[in-house]
Chain A
Amino acid sequence: MYAQMIKTAGTGVKSPEEMTEEERKFQARVDANEKIEPKDWMPDDYRATLIRQIGQHAHSEIVGQLPEGNWITRAPTLERKAILLAKVQDEAGHGLYLYCAAETLGVSRDELTEDLLSGKMKYSSIFNYPTLTWADIGAVGWLVDGAAIMNQVPLQRTSFGPYSRAMIRICKEESFHQRQGYDIMMKMARGTEAQKRMAQDAINRLWYPSLMMFGPSDKESVHSGQSMAWRIKINTNDELRQKFVDQTVPQAEYLGLTIPDENLKWNEERGHYDFSEPDWKEFFDVLKGNGPCNTDRLTARQEAWSDGKWVRDAMLAHARKKAAAKVAAE
């Protein structure tokens, strides 16, 4: 899940009696699975929550380029290098669609970027973990993209039209990325002793951070109830996490890798795997800025933005000169 701990604006789900006429009509459209389009009337809190959610998702795509980009220059074969480049390019493209979707709600990409760089807006906690070996590139594709897909597939049916359409496009590419990640893991897990060690080490480090991607349990959260009523959240965090574990455990077994959880076992009665919760204290530390890579990731983005200012200024100045020359010629 690339959007975590999104605070839903407002005071929670309203009863039909508490709603205004406009709100009732809006809710009826959402309940009938109609898509809400940018020019339609929508509650201010719906708009504000979507900006937070789509913005955080977009930021995650952008910051997510860094841990993967970290291995492009060291990819072990030309084909792996090309695949990784294409993947990172896709992620940047996802950021672009999502910023465009957010712009339809009345916020500019530059405003969202400033909020990311000032720390006011967050990106997914997962990108604050390092990629230390080539197996991490496999594990990021398999686990991180796998977890993202769990959340994004249902969001294809979300109520806001531009977000839903962005998700449809993104999901196609993400499932491709996940298969590529798994393919790297297969090679590693069937490779030399050193490669097997890298693969196991990657899952040891990335398993719990991947579970954290879904966010803490939101069973009791009123805010979450409102987001679900608006259909900008489709499943609870716990449902998605369970689904992810159920899907991933057999894949790990197939690879011959051990998931680092002594409590992991199939529960016949529930029809699901039982598993250990991640360390939520660590999760909140990462959100506060104390993850292993928070400072480096944010600094990299801040430097890209400040070092690039002269380029953006120049492109704008040139475009204005051209436009002025065109007007003068007419």
Chain B
Amino acid sequence: MTRDEALFEFCLRMGDSTLVLGHRVSEWCGHAPVLEEDIALANTALDLIGQTQLWLGLAGEVEGKGRDADQLAFLRDAWDFRNLLLTEVPNGDFGRTLMRQFLFDAWHSVYLARLLKSSDKRIADIAEKASKEVAYHLERSADTVVALGDGTEESHQRMEAALAYLWPYVGEMFAGDAVDAAMAEAGIAPDPAGLREEYDALVGRVLAEATLEMPESRFAHKGGRNGAMHTEHLGHILTQMQWLQRAYPGASW
């Protein structure tokens, strides 16, 4: 694997995660529990899609085969996607959606903070823009997790169930491989395994305030970041997302 091949993979991992999560969050449009949440969810989805344009745009540039962000988003099949599995699981109830958002935002904020110092300026620039947005995402998702965990007996139970469902998807964020090693060696991105402690501390603080217990199990579903095995859900997401581009090839929109 050349350095540019690894860099291409790295950009896909970032961009596919924001794309797929942005898609999931946007499914809430018009259905949130209160108007302010509708606005906040749309805003989060919008930020994530904006970040996707940057990451996949860079991926296309690094690949050098003339593919732009749209071609990467709309014309690859599931096995070529490199998003975290966490981002593709179904929304469930509002509690699960916000717990998923929090678990992602916490990782995203820790990871982006490292990318600010990337040896590749293009990556540092994207991280600079994205980290401002993600700081707000994290503040909001953490506050919501705390409110719903602490709120009522019913909300507490729902958040416990959400955490139990989502926790096995957390470990994948920290499972490094050859791509990560190449990125770390070039000073482009950190070794993900080294971020676990900071992540656990951050997540642990918020869960404690939410009166929720952090699961002990370290079991992790994997296969999204390297494309080895996605969940069944991704295919359905792509069926919807890519429909127009697939049905009317070559059209300009």
> What is the interface of chain A, defined by CB distance below 8 A to chain B?
62, 65-66, 69, 72-82, 85-86, 88-89, 92-93, 95-96, 99, 109, 134, 184, 187, 191-192, 194-195, 300, 303-305, 307-319, 321
Contact = CB atoms under 8 A, between A and B. Distances in A.
A198 B148 CA distance: 44
A314 B252 contact: no
* Chain B interface helix/strand/loop/mixed: helix
A303 B53 CA distance: 33
B251 A194 contact: yes
B147 A72 contact: no
A109 B240 CA distance: 34
Nearest to B247: A194
B245 A317 contact: no
Contact of A89 (B33, B42, B152, B154): B42
Given A76-B245, A78-B69, A195-B251, A315 B147 contact: yes
B152 A80 contact: no
Contacts of A187: 252-253
Interface range, B side: 35 or more
A20 B45 CA distance: 54
Contacts of A305: 33
Given A65-B29, A69-B30, A310-B155, A76 B253 contact: yes
B70 A74 contact: no
B23 interface: yes
Contacts of B19: 78
Contacts of A109: 35
B150 interface: yes
18 contacts: A73-B240, A74-B240, A74-B243, A77-B253, A78-B49, A78-B70, A78-B73, A80-B253, A82-B46, A89-B39, A307-B31, A308-B34, A309-B33, A310-B152, A310-B158, A313-B151, A314-B148, A315-B147
Given A85-B46, A312-B34, A317-B150, 18 more contacts: A62-B35, A65-B30, A72-B45, A73-B241, A74-B241, A75-B244, A76-B74, A76-B244, A78-B52, A79-B70, A81-B26, A88-B42, A92-B35, A194-B248, A311-B148, A314-B148, A318-B147, A318-B150
Contacts of A314: 147-148, 150-152, 154-155
B29 A72 contact: yes
Interface in B217-253: 240-241, 243-245, 248, 250-253
A92, A184, A307: residue with the most chain B Cβ atoms closer than 10 Å: A92
B32 interface: yes
Given A303-B31, A304-B33, A313-B151, A82 B49 contact: yes
Nearest to B25: A85
A74 B73 CA distance: 12
Contacts of A192: 248, 250-251
A80 B251 CA distance: 14
A195 B151 contact: no
